Amino acid sequence: MSEKIVYLMRGLPSCGKSHKAKELAQAGGLICETDEYFHTQVGEDPSKYNYRKELQQAACDWNFLRFCRAVEEGISPIIVDRGNSRSLESRRYARFAVSHGYRVEMAEPDSSWWQEIRVLLKYKRLTKPALYEWAEKLSEMSRETHRVPASTIRDWMDKWKWDLTVEDILNFEPEPEPQEEGQSDTDPDPEPEPAPPIQQIAPAVLEDIAAEEPLQESPILKPGERSPFL
């Protein structure tokens, strides 16, 4: 029996991640992409990208459940086409795959412009002006799909870890939240906080509230806002 494998895609917007994912999936594989939720599970036209911010967590959970089912069925290869990084979201994909006997590998686009950008990212302390020029170009290229602003792409470039490994993802632990001044682990429980405003209510709750709202097609992200396909 051949070895089962999961590929975690990496790359900036409009650099060819989806194209590479399709190549990897040609041999009977499956692509798990969060964006597909907004094509097939929202709206009536699968050709349209009906993104709704309040459904983002539902989309992430839907994609992970689809991934888990594919792993349990033994499908290979499975390509996780999202912005994989040192995060809890990426970690749960990697750990679930490893726990079921899969080998996990990183995969990047083959496009010529990504090959140039990845080198610039490796030496980003010296190449920031060139990278920021690319951010403008990639933003322009993304206008037909996710409409990612250049400011968001620049932020991802600044945080990019060029030598990220699968082990980095598997062993990721979030930084502990800093304690407030004057508070220790032995302090009594603080006063209960007031109920959060509606903007802070969990997406799962907002989903029911927003069910009657009209669909919005491919909204432009605000500078610094997280892309829906990460």
Of 201 and 113, more confident: 113
Q: What is the four-CA torsion angle of 9, 15, 20, 21, rounded to 10 degrees?
A: 50
| Cα–Cα distance measured from residue 39 to residue 59, given in angstroms and rounded to the nearest whole number | 11
HSE-up of residue 28 (Cα within 13 Å, Cβ side): 6
Yes or no: say if 142 and 17 are a contact pair by the CB < 8 Å rule.
no
What pLDDT digit, counting tens, does each position of 126-163 carry?
A: 999 999 999 999 999 988 776 789 999 999 999 999 99
What pLDDT digit, counting tens, does each position of 38-49 carry?
A: 888 987 888 787
What pLDDT digit, counting tens, does each position of 1-59 carry?
A: 579 999 999 999 999 999 999 999 998 899 999 988 888 898 788 878 777 889 989 99
List helix spans (H) across 74-198.
Answer: 88-99, 112-122, 124-141, 150-159, 166-170
* 152 phi and psi angles, rounded to 5 deg: -70, -40
**Contacts of residue 198, Cβ cutoff 8 Å, sequence gap at least 6:** 206, 209
- The secondary structure of the chain in percent helix, strand, coil, rounded to multiples of 5, reads 45, 5, 45
pTM score: 0.74
